[in-house]
């Protein structure tokens, strides 16, 4: 299994950034434009264990998978959301989003992703994988959040 993590300061209120990660499909698409559907399959009272069917468009191909909420913490100063899903029966992926309020208009965003190969022949892809995608995603969240302020 491979793990990548990055931190970035964002000049925006914590609640506005949280909406990008935990809001409507339209909010999510601001930072993940390839997600074209996010339909609840099972929703739990405490959020953990909730499952959503997501569709992701890559070029002309559409991938469909179920995303499960693995962790959820929502307080005024700290927010944490961890989701997991299997992609094409090849990879088991988790994404952890953490927001820590520094002051009213500044926060620290930590994004951690893990990727575990489910087939022996895709393990080579992980050997050569870098943190580039994780860093680019964190920068996109920053760019979108700060442009909305």
Tell me whether residue 27 is in a domain: yes
Tell me whether residue 33 is in a domain: yes
* pLDDT tens digits, one per residue of 1-53: 899 999 999 999 999 999 999 989 999 999 999 999 999 999 999 999 999 99
CATH of the domain at 133: 3.30.530.20
Tell me whether residue 8 is in a domain: yes
Tell me whether residue 59 is in a domain: yes
Q: Which has more confidence, 129 or 25?
A: 25
Tell me whether residue 149 is in a domain: no
Tell me whether residue 58 is in a domain: yes
Number of domains present in the structure of the chain: 1
* pLDDT of 124: 72
> 99 near 14, Cβ under 8 Å?
yes
Q: How distant, in Å, are the alpha carbons of 17, 29, 80, 95 from that of 98?
A: 10, 19, 4, 10
Tell me whether residue 113 is in a domain: yes
Domain that holds residue 6: 2-144
Q: Determine the Cα angle at 132 with ends 54 and 22, to 5°.
A: 35
* pLDDT tens digits, one per residue of 48-100: 999 999 999 989 999 999 999 999 999 999 999 999 999 888 899 999 999 99
């Amino acid at each position: 299994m491979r793990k990548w993590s990055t931190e970035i300061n964002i000049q925006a209120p914590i609640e506005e950034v949280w909406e990008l990660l935990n809001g409507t499909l339209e909010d999510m698409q601001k930072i993940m434009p390839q997600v074209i559907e996010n339909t609840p399959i099972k929703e739990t009272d405490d959020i953990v264990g909730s499952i959503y069917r997501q569709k992701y468009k890559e070029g002309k191909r559409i991938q469909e998978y179920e995303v499960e909420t693995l962790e959820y913490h929502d307080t005024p100063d700290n927010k944490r959301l961890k989701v997991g899903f299997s992609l094409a029966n090849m990879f088991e992926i988790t994404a952890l989003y953490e927001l820590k309020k520094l002051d009213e208009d500044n926060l620290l965003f930590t994004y951690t992703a893990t990727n575990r190969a489910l087939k022996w022949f895709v393990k080579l892809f992980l050997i050569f994988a870098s943190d580039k995608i994780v860093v680019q995603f964190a920068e996109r969240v920053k760019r979108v959040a700060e442009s909305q302020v």
